Structure 1
Amino acid sequence: MHGLVNRSIEGFLRTSYGAEVWDVVARNAGVDPEGFLTWTPTADEVTTAVLRATAMQLRKSVGECLEDIGAWLTRQEEIRRLLRFSGSDYPEFLESLHELPGRIALVIPDLAIPELTVTCESEGSYVIHPAWHWPGFLRVTAGVIRGMADDYGALALISVQAGRISVTVALTDFAAQRRFSLAPDAQDSADARRRP
């Protein structure tokens, strides 16, 4: 598994739950509590062990943990900016999800993730299919989609089943969207630091 995947799990636990929780998870998974190196790959079994230990410690399913990690990723300002460039509103963001793997490849060429097909079945109703199966990918993607609904101030129903993600946008202006500008400024950085 790409080191960035393991590093993201570690970062999620450290920032959301504290270093002590990460230490417990690392010990239970049999990995070094000092953590992972971003560019050093590990065996898939290591990632699986860390996710299982995370689920046990947080008393959630692995799928729930993966979705929480996806939502957490949207609160990292560099990632959030990459995602917000995908659309001026939430439906536009969803419709441009097929571009996301290509954008990620520009930044991290050796992180191969499945291409996405987005189908608009009716107004406000979308289905997202990956081109191939990658364990946990759909759950993380669903978390990203959930996190971005919050970012855009939209209300959406999101479900993962039968190898696809279904999204129904109930309201596009459910809440105030987070401020966003093309050029980062001090307020953006301050907002990012305050968010959990």
Structure 2
Amino acid sequence: MNGVTARALQSFIQTTYGDAVWAAVLADSRVEVPSFELMLNYAPQLTERVLGAAAKHLNRAPDEVLEDLGLFLVSHADMQPLRRLLRFGGVDFAAFVQSMGDLPERARMVLPHATMPPIRPVDEGDGRWAIFCGRRPEGMVHVIRGGIRAMADDYGALATVELGPDEGPNHRLDVTILSDHFSEGRVFDLAAQAE
């Protein structure tokens, strides 16, 4: 687990559930540092221990914790730089989904140490998209699924995002856009520095 992912998980748990829950997760994980550093890499086994302890304390499956992390990264007020980066993907949700193949490179411009799988969106017509995500880093497909769901809300679109059958070396997400303009969506000004 790289420091960006570890720090994001820490921020999500502390902000959403509090410092006491984070301390309990660290204790159960047998992690000896009180905080993760953005620029460091951590052993993959640490990922499993921290995620497993978080799932236990939150009474959720590990995949659900990762999906909630994706929702948090897009929708929480402290994460506005990431939201801005994602909104550069297009003027509406369909354009955002179409541009997802560029997301790993855009993320590296802002967070050089971030690790994202390759992403390939395929337009299947009638508002249906298949998003193919590489398998590494492990679990990232669930973070991406949560992020896509949060972006649909951000744009005001009505969409479903489901895990599809894996295809070869990739995970598959099935995105169905039922309405690209279902609600007003969140205010976004491309020129604004902060909201």
Normalised TM-score (structure 2):
0.91
Taking the aligned partners of 1:175 and 1:4, their CA distance within structure 2 comes to 32
The aligned residue for residue 178 of structure 2 is 170
Secondary structure of the 2:159 match is strand
Q: Structure 1 residues 34, 112: CA separation in 2 closer, same or farther (over 3 Å shift)?
A: closer
Matched, 1:32 2:29: no
Correspondence for 2:120 among 117, 123, 134 = 117
Which residue identity does 2:189 align to in structure 1?
S
The aligned residue for residue 5 of structure 1 is 5
Secondary structure of the 1:66 match is helix
Asked if structure 1 preserves the Cα contact closer than 8 Å seen for 2:132 and 2:172, the reply is yes
Which residue identity does 1:25 align to in structure 2?
V
Asked if structure 1 preserves the Cα contact closer than 8 Å seen for 2:70 and 2:146, the reply is yes
Matched, 1:55 2:55: yes
Alpha-carbon offset, residue 134 of structure 1: 2.7
Unaligned runs of at least 5 residues, structure 2:
none
- Please say which of residues 167-176 and 56-65 is displaced more in the overlay: 167-176
Matched positions, count: 187
- Superposed CA deviations along residues 132-161 of structure 1, whole A, max 9, x for unmatched, are 543101111101101101111111111113
Taking the aligned partners of 1:87 and 1:33, their CA distance within structure 2 comes to 40
Identity rate of aligned residues, in percent? 36
Asked if structure 1 preserves the Cα contact closer than 8 Å seen for 2:2 and 2:115, the reply is no
Taking the aligned partners of 1:148 and 1:128, their CA distance within structure 2 comes to 15
Unaligned runs of at least 5 residues, structure 1:
189-196
Stretches (4+) displaced over 3 A: none
1:82-93 correspondence to structure 2 within 5 Å: 82-93=85-96
Normalised TM-score (structure 1):
0.90
